[in-house]
Amino acid sequence: MIKYLIKRLMLLLPTLLGAAVLVFFLLRLVPGDVCEIRLAGTGLYADPAEIELCRKDLGLDQPMFVQFFQFLWGYVTFDLGKSMWTGAPITHEISLRFHLTLQVAIMSTVVAIIIAIPFGIISAVKQNTWIDYIVRWFSIAGIAMPSFWLGILIILGLLIGTQEVFGEPWMPPIEFKPIWEDPVWNISQLIWPAVATGYRYSAVATRMTRSALLEVLREDYVRTARAKGLVEKVIINRHALKNALLPVVTIISIEFAFLMGGLVVTEQVFNLNGLGRLFVESVGAQDFNMTQQLVMLVVLIFVMMNFFVDILYAWLDPRIRYS
Amino acid sequence: MSNTYTKFAVYLAVGAGLALGVSAANAETPKMGGTLEFVVPGKAPSYDGHIETTYAMIHRVRPFYSLLIRVNPDNPSDPSDFVCDLCDGDVPKPTENGTKYTFKLQKGVKFHNGTPLTSADVKASFDKIIFPPEGVASARKSFFKAVSSITTPDASTIVFKLAFPTGSFIPALATPFNFVYSKADLDAHGYSWHKMNINGSGAFKFVEHQKGAFMTGVKNPDYHLKGRPYLDGYKAITSAKMALSIQAIRGNRAAAEFRGFPPKARDDLVKALGNKITVQESDWNCVLLGTPNHKIKPFDDTRVRQALTLGIDRWSGSKYLSKIAIVKTVGGVVFPSHSLAATKEELMKLKGYGPDIKASRAEATKLLKEAGVPGLKFTFHNRGVDQPYKIVGTWMIDQWKKTGMKVDQQVNPTPVFYDTLRKKKTFDVSVDFNCQSVINPIADITKFLGSAGNNYGSYEDQPLEDIYNKILKSGDVAEQRKLIRQYEKHALSDEARLMISLWWYKINPHRSYMKGWKIAPSHYLNQHLDNVWLDK
């Protein structure tokens, strides 16, 4: 097992290097640069000499391979560089937003699990009954409905509903306060994006739970368990569900990794100052330094989640052996 | 006749009502205290006004700094009304044939760190803006080409000497980006320090900036305008999307957004909140232009360019577009509300501004035929921003299609858009825009000169340059006005170098409890917040 883990960890390096090469060179294929946007993006005239000066300051005048080497050297020296837009250290910019994104991702995952696992089980156990149809309809609606659209509906619903009831419209806070600073504020802001994204996320997981459980319920060992007179609850919980959860865990882990960098639109809808929004802003401003470090962070999260899931498989299914 | 009397009576009543309303509003005593929360849709690259150009920086950072002079906060709509900020008394008149301006500074002004503000600080700040050392950036150096020297005879006097008299000096001086920095800071920390640090003498002191989230300021008790500011502090909240900003005002998470909303947002807010929303509106010193690429055939042909401008029905466009977009006013090269701007009668003499659109389009068709390009086909290059680019661009294309042209639209995200417009110059006809802070017609109209750095039409036009040089040297307003009409006719009609679409229109719905703030014709102006108070 230890050998396997070391091997997997070693494989991370070429994956990350490949991602670094791709993101660095692909970003530079896009026309325009951060200095043009910064000094003349509002349409005002910018002296070409000023733009050149800005490029020099940011090191954009250097040959591309020198810039690439500096980018890689940053990992060796644990210096991710500075944002080309704000001039602040990238680690600072990311750490400001990381806990918000992490909290939304965790809350969305909790919402998704709370909905998906019971609904998926009920739907499988009560296959082709009206309960199954309602659950399937509910989950298909979740897949079909973009979470940002649901987010907009939630905000509008809150505004209109509270105005109707209390006379003054209310909407969730639009600035973040950590949960240890103001838990009520924090939850009243983040519960809505967690519900909006968690619902879509749960829809995928519900369907996966249902189909995986249906498959397992047809297995011989389940029939044997029934034949020896085990209670249905025990059969489902102890024998079927654990095996059926393997694909569900995969889906949940991939979705979690996706939430860490992919909540681009939902973060904008709820004005969350998270990593997704930072991603959009840095791409829009052609802040290469920030964009490439964010991409690398997301790659790292995906790789680590896959690694984590592999380990989890072993716990869920003891037949899996690593060699 | 009775109808005339009725109209007169109505006007009189409305006028009296407005006068009473205004005087009643003026009579309101500002209340002290409270924190103003407003949204800013954009990110500020740095805090340094001398190098930045975005309103996103101004809205957050301007309240921390003072200027030497500023646009009159009580009358910001008047493009020629400037008042002292750090200087004492009235804005001085020039001496020595208009080449010398002597400013006396207010005494007892302090920076937020407690050090006194003297003329040395003002000089150091303007030296950084006008004569930056090599390797130091300055976004507005070109605004001050006329300035030959800055001297400080004593600690409270600063003298600007100009190489030649120009009416554009005072408006340039009032530009809201001209923050006065402490010389000691510049000497001790260098010219980059203000990018990441703040030490001003404005109405508010910097407290916190959580990047991407908010910036906060607290009342400066030593502010040089006694009794100001009224607020205890402010919080500028970053809002990523316009829709969110609108809902934030509706849900009372913010009192205002100072850039501007489209008409639909105003109507929705008023419908939802009634008198809890106050709407201020103004012509906006921004305009979208169509720029034909003179290096690409057939746009090197005057007849083709004239056909392009003739095909656009600006008068009806104003009527309909103003219902959905932040554009409204039909105008020429000068900001419409300025005394140097063309009247409607004067505009109607220009190609593309005539009252009979059918006749204009017939003339356009004829010109295209004469130029050998009937049914002209081209691609219109646009910027991927909804308000007002995509809306105005789509409208312009529709106008050209009505003249028999076949036009495709290529919409690019901002970086790619600028790269194509400014560097590659591979477009046929592109949208471009001219957006300024302080209204300074003589400086603003340089956009139309082929030699201007921000003109991307790729043409040379010596007669236009000659007219401009006459405008620059003219000291007489009536003569300037006459020359600007010649300039306008040459640029927009005779040669049709660039096409003006519609001037922007600024709409600021805000919570009615926010008082004291007056809309200016630019989203860069009147953002010091020292006159804002909360009626809560």
pLDDT, mean of residues A188-195 = 95
CA distance B303 to chain A (A): 28
A51 touches chain B (CB under 8 A): no
A105 touches chain B (CB under 8 A): no
Token duo for residue A67: 């810039």
CA distance A297 to chain B (A): 19
B243 and B295 together in one domain: no
Q: Flag if B453 and A169 touch (Cβ within 8 Å).
A: no
B518 and B409 together in one domain: no
Confidence of residue A102 (pLDDT cuts 50, 70, 90): very high
CA distance A181 to chain B (A): 15
Pairwise CA distance, residues B189 & A132, whole Å: 69
How many residues does the structure list for chain A?
A: 323
Q: Note whether B48 and B58 are within 8 A (CB).
A: no
The per-residue pLDDT for A113 is: 94
Q: Flag if A277 and B240 touch (Cβ within 8 Å).
A: yes
B261 found inside a domain: no
How many residues does the structure list for chain B?
A: 536
Average pLDDT of chain A, as a whole number: 88
B229 and B308 together in one domain: no
B50 found inside a domain: yes
The structural domain count of chain B equals: 2
Domain ranges across chain A: 2-76, 94-284
Task: State the best of B235, B418, B536 to mutate against chain A, taking most chain A CBs within 10 Å.
Answer: B418
Looking from the CA of B253 toward its CB, the CA atoms found within 13 Å total 25
Decide: residue A7, CB within 10 A, 0-12 exposed, 13-18 middle, 19+ buried: exposed
B470 found inside a domain: yes
The per-residue pLDDT for B404 is: 94
B536 touches chain A (CB under 8 A): no
Residues 230 through 269 of chain B touching chain A, CB cutoff 8 Å: 235, 237-241, 243-244, 247-248, 250-254
Find the residue in A nearest to B436 (Cα): A44
3-class SS at B65? coil
Per-residue pLDDT of A53-73, as tens digits, reads 888 888 888 998 999 999 999
Q: Flag if A44 and B237 touch (Cβ within 8 Å).
A: no
Pairwise CA distance, residues B502 & A253, whole Å: 52
B272 found inside a domain: no
B248 contacts in chain A (CB < 8 Å): 171, 174, 271
DSSP string, A252-289: HHHHHHHHHHH-HHHHHHTT--SHHHHHHHHHHTT-HH
Instruction: Write the CATH number of the domain with boundaries A94-284.
Output: 1.10.3720.10
B320: domain CATH number? 3.10.105.10
B489 and B526 together in one domain: no
B251 contacts in chain A (CB < 8 Å): 155, 158-159, 169-171
Question: Which of A31, A269, A273 minimises the CB distance to B415?
Answer: A31
CA distance A23 to chain B (A): 18
B274 contacts in chain A (CB < 8 Å): none
Beta bridge partners of B412: B383
Q: Flag if B248 and A271 touch (Cβ within 8 Å).
A: yes
Find the residue in B nearest to A31 (Cα): B416
CA distance B210 to chain A (A): 8
The per-residue pLDDT for A42 is: 67
The per-residue pLDDT for A314 is: 72
B197 touches chain A (CB under 8 A): no
Q: What does residue B327 show for φ and ψ, rounded to 5 degrees?
A: -125, 155
B480 and B525 together in one domain: no
- Between chain A and chain B, the number of residue pairs with CB atoms below 8 A apart is 156
Task: State the best of A54, A56, A175 to mutate against chain B, taking most chain B CBs within 10 Å.
Answer: A175
Token duo for residue B214: 């908010």
Q: Flag if B253 and A286 touch (Cβ within 8 Å).
A: no
Nearest to A309 by CA among A258, A249, A264: A249
The per-residue pLDDT for B222 is: 96
The per-residue pLDDT for B476 is: 83
A32 contacts in chain B (CB < 8 Å): 414-416, 418-419
B139 touches chain A (CB under 8 A): yes
Q: Flag if B212 and A281 touch (Cβ within 8 Å).
A: yes
CA distance B66 to chain A (A): 23
A32 touches chain B (CB under 8 A): yes
B494 and B523 together in one domain: no
Pairwise CA distance, residues B98 & A112, whole Å: 72
Find the residue in B nearest to A46 (Cα): B139
Decide: residue B377, CB within 10 A, 0-12 exposed, 13-18 middle, 19+ buried: exposed
CA distance A228 to chain B (A): 60
B180 and B329 together in one domain: no
Question: Which of B252, B423, B435 minimises the CB distance to A43?
Answer: B435
Q: What is the ipTM of this complex?
A: 0.83
The per-residue pLDDT for A44 is: 67
B340 found inside a domain: yes
CA distance A264 to chain B (A): 11
B78 and B177 together in one domain: yes
A131-151 burial string, b = 16+ CB within 10 Å, else e?
ebeebbebbeebeeeebbebb
B401 touches chain A (CB under 8 A): no
B422 touches chain A (CB under 8 A): yes
CA distance B426 to chain A (A): 13
pLDDT, mean of residues A29-51 = 78
Question: Which of B237, B240, B250 minimises the CB distance to A268?
Answer: B240
Q: Select the more confidently predicted residue: B405 or A45.
A: B405
CA distance B402 to chain A (A): 30
Q: Flag if B244 and A174 touch (Cβ within 8 Å).
A: yes
- Taking phi over 0 as left and psi of -120 to 50 as alpha, with beta for the rest, B186 belongs to alpha
Residues 442 through 481 of chain B touching chain A, CB cutoff 8 Å: 452-454
**C-alpha B266, offset from chain centre:** 21
Question: Which of A50, A271, A284 minimises the CB distance to B244?
Answer: A271
B335 and B484 together in one domain: yes
DSSP string, B288-332: EEEEE-TTSTTTTSHHHHHHHHHT--HHHHHHHHTTTSSEEE---
B449 and B519 together in one domain: no
**C-alpha B164, offset from chain centre:** 26
* Enclosing domain of residue B435: 283-506
Q: Flag if B420 and A173 touch (Cβ within 8 Å).
A: no
The per-residue pLDDT for B54 is: 86
CA distance A226 to chain B (A): 55
B392 and B472 together in one domain: yes
A164 contacts in chain B (CB < 8 Å): none
Residues 210 through 239 of chain A touching chain B, CB cutoff 8 Å: none
Q: Flag if A42 and B53 touch (Cβ within 8 Å).
A: yes
B214 contacts in chain A (CB < 8 Å): 175
CA distance B175 to chain A (A): 13
Per-residue pLDDT of A204-263, as tens digits, reads 899 999 999 999 999 999 999 999 999 988 898 888 888 888 888 888 888 888 888 778
B30 found inside a domain: no
Question: Which of A37, A87, A273 minimises the CB distance to B415?
Answer: A37
Q: Note whether A309 and A250 are within 8 A (CB).
A: yes
B41 and B134 together in one domain: yes
Tell me whether strands B100-104 and B82-84 are parallel, antiparallel or unpaired: unpaired
Single-letter amino acid code for the residue at B301? D
Find the residue in B nearest to A84 (Cα): B45
Rounded mean pLDDT for each run of 10 residues along chain B, 536 residues in total? 43 42 60 97 88 90 98 90 96 94 96 97 97 86 90 97 89 95 96 94 96 94 96 94 93 96 95 96 94 95 97 95 95 93 96 95 96 95 92 96 95 88 91 89 90 88 94 85 96 96 96 96 95 94
